Structure 1
């Protein structure tokens, strides 16, 4: 029975739901919100009236079906039941209700009224001149859409045009009410009162009895002239977007360059529903390209999360798929603004591959920005992407990148994302990476290695602290740079304090190592029970990214002549500030700082074996890796996950010859007297350390990009800065000591070997033989492992 009853009800089969209560009442009509039943995201507005009083609404329905104009309320559907008549239109509110509910500043309100005035005068021009019609009841039939557009409805008295007086008088009084308050009893025009000064003359022309001598077109032109009420950036911006396809390329570039500052004039809803759709439309069907990104992300801050996912995320995905390198640069600069809105599925399947293409970009600026961007979405990467693919990229950059800023930021990045690495491999990866950073010739990277190691102290077992961390930090206490020495002493004291506490109370061991196997999605900043000694490093690391290579700068001149598929050139900058002048009681002899082969004695055997192993790998491998004991990183196999359907970014081959200027070339040696420890000569090549065979790859020698660097800013919250004054490196000649002469004594012919020092030399020779034998054994073992891995791959 009930089903047959509903089937007979016309509203049951009607496409729109009209059951909601009405919110407003205007001209005897009930006005409420509605939505489409088949798609609830489609919102509209219904107008309803009793059937006995519905003659006016019926007439309006007929007129709206035939009248089409951007400033006429759009007809969607209609329904007539036994007792009511319904009209469905686009979403809107009565003008009075919109003004009462909108929270607009005085300047925004004036701009909003100016845009509405332009739209209605433009509509009256069309009705009076082109359609030869007069509205007749304009004053209470203006509605406003969510985009801030003024729309005209209520065509019950729509008639042939005879005079513009009625329509212009009604609109003039309406403008007076907008600034002086709505008054239904007002029938004649009054003095302008609180109306803006620029609106006084047009208001008098419309509201006076002499309105018959003027026209909507004349008033519109007067208001658009110099110093006119419609001569403002608000109207100019919206008109430009509507006429975008007719504009020249130079005009488009200039428009988007100034749009960021102009957006502050617009109410949030106008920016969301008027400007944002136009921007996306300009990108999809025009040549806006990289220029829309800045206003796009600024407007995106106004959106609700579901709106952001529906409107902005698809646009970002399309932008990442673009082969234009300049777009990739801007996206990397803005990654912090949209990363939190991206779902894990979108990041892993559609965005990760285009982002990681930047690791191989010939421009050091893009490589640096790519490393920095990883921090913002690492928590959403799947197992394979963060533990396998990303670690390979960071290992190569940290170990062999020519740009010192990129190496430094790779170290900082690992410290920031360490919590997300799988616990089974985290300790091995982090320790190998940070101990490698301690041997880097670039002082900021050495400082970053110490800070990162301290900030991630909870991830290391105490046996590793004793066997690897403390021996690695020891040489740093005698580093040529004072900042490195200061940070190393702090870290050493903290790690030794952990060992002392467990030595005094063995029951603390489990508590101290509770974080070694811990994992999660909260990052190091939310880790609990951080000791006081590590808080300084945690705070410093979490708040900094080394500002090395400057990002590509696109000037207004280059934007105007920019080819769409050409990346912007890097603007040269002096990126290193002058170091603070400090005094030291230590020697200030100059030291040639080049790639070093630092021999601290605690891992010589491993380093030698890794050198032999590295020589067996071809240069076609991925790059440098991390390893602490010769075990291949390939033991850590990717888990089975759905393969992302992301097309590989081929823009590297296309733009291989478009080299950015390497900002590291601007690095100059300091002439200031920084704090140095003398007497240490550093050779030209780094050890192939623990990280090289971790991935089974060969580390490339790093260019002497940090020659003569001086680190003079305080590490921690302050940035590390370098002087730009060039100093020719001083060549330190080795001192050759004379061999002692062998002479016999008068007493018994005893020689210099009376105390059996010769036996000691024989023992040293035996030790060298054992070391050579050990190298051969390790090389054989590595060859065997490589053969086993090759067999496994062939079997798969």
Structure 2
């Protein structure tokens, strides 16, 4: 092979310039030509090269020269197209369009019956042209003289003995028998009487017989001789009658190829097929009337998958693309384009279809836009991400604001198709802005589809803003007057539960779902119940993994004083929730001892102290006294001092329980406020605070001293109470309250409860108004 290529290159170097390069050799039937695949040096385009070696085959040189002459002068779509030719004393080279021998397809049986009919129809038209318009005889018609082009069309070659019947010295009479394998295909009358017998019958008789043998070959394989002529094995029944008349042994009884063609084109004939009609009409698609174009496109759309792919890729597709873009083919033509493009390789799609698709997205025609969006799923996998994000999406978003609802809706549906081809910046920026607009669309169907779309693209949203966007959008849809929009919101919430934290589920999602449980529509109520169950299961699972409490372990009564009891797990049920408050109330009663003392109020309204804490006794400092004894003695001293205080107006007798409930009635929720103050850790009057306490409490962690506090001095509880009261209240005129007076006693004239152990802390009013969250769900898209 390398030697042959070197010889060819050497011959080219010695002769006239031939701007084509030889490639691989192609196997063909017995022929005077050697066929090569070639390329054009100028642009690298494909071609085929027929080579004839004059030195090695000089006796058949007239056949080669006749073929070159006829190929140059015979112009017909069904004839091999010649690009260039070179003729010297040693060789003849003919460069043609890239060809593949039809024999290859026949041997592989890769041709469908419809494609064979379409090919035979094309060859019949070419032979008719040669016989009638050209007044000539081909003389060597067979499968070996037929080739397929890159577009899949059948092209006729083998013009070695093609002759004009008006030429008495035509080459066919002299060299007809020198064509390779001519004995197999020679008609019976020529086999008996020689090639001069052509003059005694119709000049179309030879080609008619050879066309019949070609029909047999393409359906069955090789034609071995005259014995097989007339056999109908493998041939479609609709062709039987015409085929038998083509191979009739009597040349005068044969029908011409022209007649066979006419019979086939009749209604119901073997050439009356959709594929043949389409191939005839596609070339003039641009000049057809609107009715003819519509009919042609309908036929194209009904084609089955056995159409010749190469022909549609090379011939039909370019014509349809031109019709869509410039010739008024419209959406129907583009639908056919998409059907054909599914058969294309990715490289062909990128080169032929992709540029047109990009340009069509800039077309303002709504019908074209809707057609593009409908067919987007068929081509999205073939479109590169950069093309979709940078070229298609900027033009596609104009559909979100189009006046036609159908365009807005189709644009919205296309988001699910292209979402994986968009960058994160595009998704979380421009796309969400447009979805925020369609969520407020006047069409309820578009609002509903926006909710569905957000639910399906939730995984593509940025994690930083995803929960905010989804909750705002879905909770807004829950208030939509359109029942299906509300139902879609519930379905979307159920599908996106994983994207919310437990805190968001409990504080934002569940409260928004609850009103739907009593929706007027049963469809919404049922779905709300299902969605609620999903979120409750999520929250219960999270709660099961939480600790029982975050409070510190309880201190001893001597060190930490009386504390409100913590509800135990068995107390958490709905039937025992009050036990906590009662036990706390019992602790208060048990901690109170001594006598209730009246409170004197002077005429000027200034409260008079009833008890004061004496200064620390030096003898108790560092003496190691029992803290309980110190506390008791301090309480006794306080009691004795209180007894000595003057009483101007005695208060009515009351019990400790009556005072507690009266106080609860006057200041609802104050006890919970005292706990909150302590938990806030602000140090201003917490329930468990002490003057020198080292306790620091946050929302989640409380740190206390593990050792009871003892500075060696007598604790001044009354002084501590006065200091706290001075911070929170004050006397009229800005003067601090005297020691021993509580806030309630100074203002309301009530007698303070003085105990021998611990004072009762003044209660704080809780602000029960809900806090402003600042979240504007109705404008969830405004922040982007």
Q: CA deviation at 1:24?
A: 4.1
Aligned equivalents of 1:426, 1:82: Cα separation in 2: 81
Aligned equivalents of 1:36, 1:283: Cα separation in 2: 32
Among 346, 353, 370, the alignment partner of 2:394 is 353
Matches within 5 A, 1:194-343: 194-208=234-248, 209-211=250-252, 215-264=256-305, 266-343=307-384
1:465–1:207 CA distance, 2 compared to 1 (3 A)? same
| 1:112 counterpart = 2:115 | yes
Deviations 1:214-263 (A, max 9, x none): 54433332322234322222211211213334432112112213421134
Q: CA deviation at 1:344?
A: 1.9
Aligned to 1:505: 545
Secondary structure in 1 matching 2:47: strand
Q: CA deviation at 1:372?
A: 0.5
| 1:434 counterpart = 2:438 | no
Aligned equivalents of 2:368, 2:401: Cα separation in 1: 17
Aligned equivalents of 1:7, 1:506: Cα separation in 2: 87
* Cα pair 2:102 2:146 within 8 Å, conserved: yes
* Cα pair 1:263 1:271 within 8 Å, conserved: no
* Cα pair 1:10 1:81 within 8 Å, conserved: no
1:284–1:371 CA distance, 2 compared to 1 (3 A)? closer
Aligned to 1:486: 526
| 1:134 counterpart = 2:144 | no
Q: CA deviation at 1:306?
A: 1.3
Aligned to 1:656: none
Aligned to 1:69: 76
Mean Cα deviation higher: 365-374 or 446-455:
446-455
1:410–1:158 CA distance, 2 compared to 1 (3 A)? same
Among 41, 45, 65, the alignment partner of 2:48 is 45
1:51–1:501 CA distance, 2 compared to 1 (3 A)? farther
Aligned to 1:173: 213
Secondary structure in 2 matching 1:45: strand
Aligned equivalents of 1:423, 1:91: Cα separation in 2: 56
Matches within 5 A, 1:357-396: 357-396=398-437
| 1:182 counterpart = 2:185 | no
Task: Determine which structure has more spread, i.e. the larger CA radius of gyration.
Answer: 2
Say which structure, 1 or 2, has more relative contact order (CA 8 Å, 6+ apart): 1
Aligned to 1:522: none
Matches within 5 A, 1:24-39: 24-36=28-40, 39=43
* Cα pair 2:141 2:210 within 8 Å, conserved: yes
Aligned to 1:575: none
Any gaps of 5 or more consecutive residues in structure 1? 508-762
Secondary structure in 1 matching 2:155: strand
* Cα pair 1:169 1:211 within 8 Å, conserved: no
Q: CA deviation at 1:393?
A: 1.1
Aligned equivalents of 1:117, 1:7: Cα separation in 2: 36
Any gaps of 5 or more consecutive residues in structure 2? 1-5, 167-202, 548-764
Q: CA deviation at 1:184?
A: 4.3
1:395–1:15 CA distance, 2 compared to 1 (3 A)? farther
1:69–1:486 CA distance, 2 compared to 1 (3 A)? same
Q: CA deviation at 1:74?
A: 1.3
* Cα pair 1:329 1:366 within 8 Å, conserved: yes
* Cα pair 2:147 2:155 within 8 Å, conserved: yes
Q: CA deviation at 1:37?
A: 5.4
Mean Cα deviation higher: 425-434 or 481-490:
481-490
Q: CA deviation at 1:72?
A: 0.6
* Cα pair 1:98 1:144 within 8 Å, conserved: no
Deviations 1:335-392 (A, max 9, x none): 2222222222222333223322221122222211111111100111234432222111
Deviations 1:111-145 (A, max 9, x none): 22322232222222322333333222122311122
Aligned equivalents of 1:47, 1:431: Cα separation in 2: 73
1:14–1:321 CA distance, 2 compared to 1 (3 A)? farther
TM-score norm. by structure 1 comes to: 0.58
Secondary structure in 2 matching 1:480: coil
